[in-house]
Amino acid sequence: MTRFEGYAALVTGAGQGIGAAVAHRLAAEGARVLVTDRDAARAGSVAAAVRDGGGSAEAHGCDVTDAAAVRAAVARAQEAFGGLDVLVNNAYSCHRDPDRFEEWEEAPWYEDFEVTLHGAARCARAALPLLARSGGRGAIVNVGSVNAEQHFGDHAYSAAKAGLASLTRTLAVESAPRGVRVNLVEPGTVRTDVWRDRAAMLEQARAHYPLGRVGEPEDIAAAVAFLASRDAAWVTGVSLPVDGGLLVSNLAMNRTMAR
């Protein structure tokens, strides 16, 4: 498929995991991709891998908590590609909950918001003028989480992702007259490096998914590609769960009641 032939895309937090998979997927479908990450070396590795696979990609170090760095990344996309058609806000921060809510400290709580919610807002603010000039194919895809919908722990991360879902809806309405669509995917548990040292926990999580497995980064990348493409030309403001059926099930309760 070449749904993104002639497109330029910027992906944040693309040095590994879901972001890297998105970069590979968009490039495989013809996009020129600016791979950004706070760790410039990781971004460089992913961009090199994309090129090795026959795709077009450049790397750029970008900390989404730094407004100047965000503006520089968008400017780099314009310089390298002549414009911007797709922004994928994937960068996030997630600190684990302390034993009690009142034990949360200010710094980690606010970092989750600064990266996950405010970072996405900074990127959208910087990218929108270019997206609005992309001839009606401008799209923002935010990477949210099922944590925005139900309790799965991680208070700050979950609240930030819920805020991102709300921003998606409000920004979709404002951006529509300019020909820019804004949507969000909500992944469930996805096999990324975050789980590298928790393989047993990941296996336990599998049992809660009706489709019988946890997600892979490529599952999320496929949904992002759909929402970013003209296949979703009449779709905006949606939060799309990509979660193996997790949100529509309660397998643990069902199994308890069936005993």
CA 210, CA 251: separation in Å to the nearest integer?
Answer: 7
Q: What would the two tokens of residue 176 be?
A: 């529509």
CA 10, CA 58: separation in Å to the nearest integer?
Answer: 10
Instruction: Report which of 93, 150, 151, 88 is spatially closest to residue 118, judged by C-alpha positions.
Output: 93
Coil, helix or strand at residue 140: strand
Gyration radius (Cα) of the chain, Å: 18
- DSSP letter assigned to residue 16: S
- DSSP letter assigned to residue 258: T
Coil, helix or strand at residue 47: helix
CA 84, CA 82: separation in Å to the nearest integer?
Answer: 7
Query: What are the b/e assignments for 133-149, b being 16+ CB within 10 Å?
Result: ebeebbbbbbbbbbbbb
Cross-strand partners of 240: 185
Query: Catalytic: 7?
Result: no
**Among residues 7, 92, 157, 209, which one is catalytic?**
157
Q: What would the two tokens of residue 124 be?
A: 């959208």
Q: Which residues are part of the catalytic machinery?
A: 157
